[in-house]
Amino acid sequence: MSPSTESLLKYDNPVLVTKRTDGKSPKGRPLRVSPQQPADSTPVPPPPKPKSISTEATKQENQEILNTILPPREWMEGNKLWVQQVSIAPCTRTDIIRLEGLLDTKLQQRQAKATGICPVRRELYSQCFDELIRQVTINCAERGLLLLRVRDEIQMTIAAYQTLYESSVAFGMRKALQAEQGKADMETRISDLENERQDLRKQLNEQKAKCDAIEKRENEKRQLEEKKHSEEIQFLKRTNQQLKTQLEGIITPKK
């Protein structure tokens, strides 16, 4: 039996907790046991020595603490519920070296980024930190609980930064949309002003054409008036000359 997902955190072998035999739908809620009571544990006979009782109680206490810190994994296969608890086996130096090598292998296999934001790298390092918490808790439960506080604080800080980042992205998107909307409005206004400028230029050209036409017509009219006035003056001069000649002829005595 293989767990649903591989993890750097060390687990015990999966244990079959419940099995449906009543013919009900798999979607029904199965009967589940408490994580503090492993299903594969066998009845312990009365120990002959108090030392074994103390050892068993310590293991049970460590299992309960680990189940609180690192809850067991559960998954369904068909009509069977499988539970996999965190291992309470103590670690050795070889286990630490193996964990380091496995971490490097997983980072390379899953092509995690060496720098920057990488969910894959964060997940693997989180699993590695949980494994370190497990190993420390087995030797000293108080130290493991303190590391749990450190882990929760780190996760809370990361969640706060993530929320801040998402808020910043949303704010940036809103500003970008507002800028795009303002840009579209400005482009529309520019287009309207361009059309208005063209209309005004057209009206100006029409008014200039009318002004030129009026000026040309008035010049022609003025020229006609001047010509007419000049002809009248010439006519009056000739008439005056004729009258003057006649008057001189009348005034001058005949010999």
Q: Given this model, what pLDDT does residue 204 score?
A: 94
110-155: pLDDT as tens digits:
888 888 888 899 899 999 999 999 888 888 888 888 999 999 999 9
Going 99 to 103 to 105 to 106, the CA torsion angle's sign is positive
Note whether 144 and 133 are within 8 A (CB).
yes
Average pLDDT over residues 226-253: 87
Q: What is the mean pLDDT of residues 22-46?
A: 40
CA atoms within 13 A on the CB side of 57: 7
Which helix H or strand E contains 181, and what residues bound it? helix 141-251
- Span of 22-26, 164-168, 246-250 with lowest mean pLDDT: 22-26
- Predicted confidence band of residue 90 (pLDDT cuts 50, 70, 90): confident
Neighbours of 189 (CB within 10 A): 10
Q: Please state, in angstroms and rounded to a whole number, the distance separating the CA atoms of residues 83 and 192.
A: 71
Q: Confidence band (pLDDT; 50, 70, 90) for 34?
A: very low
Torsion of CA 161, 165, 170, 171, to 10 degrees: 90
pLDDT recorded at residue 11: 85
pLDDT at 54: 67
Helices (H) and strands (E) in the chain, counts: 4, 3
Check if the beta carbon of residue 68 is closer than 8 Å to that of residue 131: no
pLDDT tens profile 150-193: 999 999 999 999 899 999 999 999 988 888 888 888 888 999 99
pLDDT of 233 strictly over 70: yes
Residue 28 pLDDT grade (very low, low, confident, very high; cuts 50, 70, 90): very low
Cα maximum dimension of the chain:
194
The pTM (predicted TM-score) of the whole model is 0.54
Is-contact 15 81, C-beta < 8 A? Answer: no
Residue 15 parent element (H or E): strand 15-19
User: For the chain, what percent of residues have pLDDT higher than 90?
Assistant: 29
The DSSP H or E segment spanning 66 is helix 50-69
Residue 30 pLDDT greater than 50, yes or no? no
Per-residue confidence at 244, pLDDT binned at 50, 70, 90?
confident
Quick one: pLDDT at residue 82?
A: 87
Q: Residue 48 CB: number of other CB atoms within 10 A?
A: 8
